[in-house]
Amino acid sequence: MADTDNSIRQAFIEDPPNVLKAKPSEGAKRFRRCRSTPSDPTDQPIDQKPSEHTSALKSKELFKDIRPSFRLVGLLLFVYLLVGVIIFYLFMDQISGKRTNRVLDALYFVIVTMTSVGYGDLVPNSNTTKLLACAFVFTGMAIIALFISKAADYIVEKQEVLFFKALHMNMKGGEAKILRAMETNRIKYKFYTVALLMATAVVSGTLFLWKVEKLSLVDSFYCVCATITTLGYGDKSFSSKLGRVFAIFWIIMSTILMAQFFLYLAELYTEQRQKMLAKWVLKRRITTMDLEAADLDGDRKVGAAEFVLYKLKELGKISQEEISSFLEEFNRLDVDQSGTLSTYDLTLAQTS
Amino acid sequence: MADTDNSIRQAFIEDPPNVLKAKPSEGAKRFRRCRSTPSDPTDQPIDQKPSEHTSALKSKELFKDIRPSFRLVGLLLFVYLLVGVIIFYLFMDQISGKRTNRVLDALYFVIVTMTSVGYGDLVPNSNTTKLLACAFVFTGMAIIALFISKAADYIVEKQEVLFFKALHMNMKGGEAKILRAMETNRIKYKFYTVALLMATAVVSGTLFLWKVEKLSLVDSFYCVCATITTLGYGDKSFSSKLGRVFAIFWIIMSTILMAQFFLYLAELYTEQRQKMLAKWVLKRRITTMDLEAADLDGDRKVGAAEFVLYKLKELGKISQEEISSFLEEFNRLDVDQSGTLSTYDLTLAQTS
């Protein structure tokens, strides 16, 4: 969930960058924030304005190369479809079923295959096309999965902002307040957004099949359900030229929305569980045993940071292995063995 | 990933509980571990032996009720299949296609529908059965998704232990060492295990279709690929009585394995990325600005816990919001405002 913390913030580019971090209910007077570290440097959009923090910048540049961006996934999808159309255009004679236009049918077949809908209204009938279909369904599914995990989330987030803005048009306090409300319920709003988009897809698909493909209303709805779940019995499908043009866009969009819907549902559930656990961890009575266990440096006192670390570990957010590796690093840097790091330690550690 | 830390450890019930935590390369002498807090109390198997730590016990009991256990998901699947068989047995006259045995066909139809394979060899041909199929594909997919996220992971883990044990039969140092090796590469081994299981499913399915259903070898492989990806064109499917008995078990197993395969692939990728980031965060030169930002309590010194918190935040593992909520709690408990918690603070805070 921390993975997407920054993206919404980026959608409102005109907003001051730290408006979300200023929570009015703070209360703790003597605690300051770790200001120069971003929440998650890996997940900032590539085309973001350069910030003044060098550490954030460096890690952003590092991950520009590894993380498949929205554009890369889009390009991959385009290349896949292009190769698919060329291959199945050439082998169209070894595919049997209802035909319309040769190029259109090739594209329709590739999309029905890659989304694993598989109506069966166009079926490979030679060994070559059968094995080609096998290769295309596996690679296509991988691309769809990549698309779901990367690009679709980004698109839904953009839609979500619009959706939320429309919903809270009259809300006082401006965008900062809207953003804060969204931030606390991010997954819930993503879920609402995707549910709304899916309802649109179901209605538009049903109307199209009813009006253009001349199916009955029940058959239209049945074909829509069979498609978005990738069930694809194939007794009802898109058989006209216009129908297949519509299907090309509609199938890819609706199946991805459906997968995204389930993904957010799972995330929503996980978040609820995590919130309940956090509540319990916060409420739990602290015992002397806890104090002893939380005392990381063995000085018989539990400082603020030690307490937070102990609680985060109890919450299951971090593991002992992670703490250990950073403790080792701390130990290495703390040259004078004072138990605290100072500028003096840094000078000593980094010159030697 | 922290979500599954404890489960493997539980599989070897004869092992001492803390063997995994004792890493020999520790190095830091004056740091002790937070001993009484488990890594993640929510994800311990339900039938685990009670540990001596009360906090772990309490949270385990709390989450026994919320978390859908392996048994619950199994029961849900059973009820779903039972209801499905009864309904489609009664409505079998409104389903057209190749028939064998009425009960068997009903079960076969439910499974082909719930996994979204949808061959189309049995198709609903009345409005009632069409709408019933729609209802069954949505609920079935939700159950399959639940099964993938909860139960399948547990099963793969059990298999993984056997697989790993067989692989490292001659490894010296006993189980503790094996466990440690597995712990560091958990997802990689899960991925290998699921890949091995999937290969078994592909080979057994192909052989069955070839020998029993008398398809050609290419057609058998083609039908297997079309099934495990839930493509299900339907030009080749299980049409004999024996074939459908096999299909009932094989389809549900192989489609889940396929989904799990993609899931682990994604996790593996995420883990690699996370490791690279961790390496970079560890290696990065600490500056005076970092020290200032890491100084949580503003005492102009950076203690061990403060350093670890700062690094974890840089890693994107924790957010400022989480730190803030626990700092508030710390502040509330620290009644004498000394900046550290003591038994005295606890007594004051919890009696008032």
Contact B41/A316, CB-based, under 8 Å?
Answer: yes
Q: Chain A interface, mutation test: which of B327, B333, B350, most A Cβ atoms within 10 Å?
A: B327
- B-chain CB neighbours of A295 within 8 Å are 32
Higher pLDDT residue, B3 or B300?
B300
Pick from A34, A284, A288: CB nearest B294: A34
Q: Please give the pLDDT value at position A327.
A: 85
- B-chain CB neighbours of A130 within 8 Å are 218-219, 222
* pLDDT over 90 percentage in chain B: 35
- Rg for chain A (alpha carbons), in Å? 27
Q: What is the ipTM of this complex?
A: 0.72
Mean of pLDDT values over A18-28: 36
Average pLDDT taken over every residue of chain A: 76
* Least-confidence region, from A154-158, A340-344, B312-316: A154-158
* CA-closest candidate to residue B198, choices B264, B149, B142: B264
| pLDDT value at B64 more than 50 | no
| pLDDT value at B33 more than 80 | no
Tell me: the pLDDT tens digits for A241-258?
A: 999 999 999 999 999 899
Mean of pLDDT values over B274-303: 80
* Least-confidence region, from A227-241, B23-37, B277-291, B333-347: B23-37
Separation in Å, CA of B6 to nearest CA in chain A: 11
| pLDDT value at B25 more than 70 | no
Contact A318/B312, CB-based, under 8 Å?
Answer: yes
Contact A118/B233, CB-based, under 8 Å?
Answer: yes
* Least-confidence region, from A91-95, A190-194, B83-87, B279-283: B279-283
Chain B residue with CA closest to A109: the answer is: B233
Contact B31/A231, CB-based, under 8 Å?
Answer: no
Average pLDDT taken over every residue of chain B: 76
Q: Please give the pLDDT value at position B168.
A: 63
Q: How far apart are CA B168 and CA B235, in angstroms?
A: 44
**pTM to 2 decimal places:** 0.73
Contact A118/B118, CB-based, under 8 Å?
Answer: yes
Higher pLDDT residue, B287 or A154?
B287
Contact B28/A331, CB-based, under 8 Å?
Answer: yes
Q: Please give the pLDDT value at position B27.
A: 38
Tell me: the pLDDT tens digits for A139-186?
A: 999 888 888 877 666 667 667 667 666 666 655 556 666 666 666 677
Q: Rounded to the nearest 10 degrees, what angle do helices A304-314 and B304-314 cross at?
A: 50
Q: Please give the pLDDT value at position A245.
A: 95
| pLDDT value at B315 more than 70 | yes
Q: Please give the pLDDT value at position A174.
A: 60
Separation in Å, CA of A206 to nearest CA in chain B: 13
Contact B222/A133, CB-based, under 8 Å?
Answer: yes
* CA-closest candidate to residue A261, choices A218, A306, A207, A199: A199
Q: Rounded to the nearest 10 degrees, what angle do helices A241-283 and A304-314 cross at?
A: 130
Separation in Å, CA of A234 to nearest CA in chain B: 6
Give the other-Cβ count within 10 Å of B139's Cβ. Answer: 15
How does DSSP classify residue A149? I
| pLDDT value at A30 more than 50 | no
pLDDT confidence bin for A297, thresholds 50/70/90: confident
| pLDDT value at A107 more than 90 | yes
| pLDDT value at B60 more than 50 | no
Q: Chain A interface, mutation test: which of B148, B280, B308, B351, most A Cβ atoms within 10 Å?
A: B308
Mean of pLDDT values over B288-305: 82
Contact A232/B120, CB-based, under 8 Å?
Answer: yes
Contact A340/B302, CB-based, under 8 Å?
Answer: yes
How does DSSP classify residue A237? -
- B-chain CB neighbours of A306 within 8 Å are 303, 305
Q: Please give the pLDDT value at position A65.
A: 42
- B-chain CB neighbours of A67 within 8 Å are 273
How does DSSP classify residue A240? S
Higher pLDDT residue, B156 or A240?
A240
Q: Chain A interface, mutation test: which of B1, B25, B37, B129, most A Cβ atoms within 10 Å?
A: B37
Return the HEC string of chain B: CHHHHHHHHHHCCCCCCCCCCCCCCCCCCCCCCCCCCCCCHHHCCCCCCCCCCHHHHHHHHHHHCCCCCHHHHHHHHHHHHHHHHHHHHHCHHHEEECCCCHHHHHHHHHHHHHCCCCCCCEEECCHHHHHHHHHHHHHHHHHHHHHHHHHHHHHHHHHHHHHHHHHCCCCCCHHHHHHHHHHHCHHHHHHHHHHHHHHHHHHHHHHHHHHCCCCCHHHHHHHHHHHHCCCCCCCCCCCCHHHHHHHHHHHHHHHHHHHHHHHHHHHHHHHHHHHHHHHHHHHCCCCHHHHHHHCCCCCCCEEHHHHHHHHHHHCCCCCHHHHHHHHHHHHHHCCCCCCEECHHHHHHHHHC
Q: How far apart are CA A202 and CA A221, in angstroms?
A: 8
Tell me: the pLDDT tens digits for B199-212?
A: 999 999 999 999 99
Higher pLDDT residue, B336 or A178?
B336
Q: Please give the pLDDT value at position B324.
A: 83
Counting one residue from chain A and one from chain B, the pairs whose CB atoms sit within 8 A come to: 385
**Cβ neighbours of residue A155 under 8 Å, at least 6 residues apart?**
none
Pick from A30, A277, A281: CB nearest B298: A30
* pLDDT over 90 percentage in chain A: 35
Pick from A39, A284, A316: CB nearest B320: A39
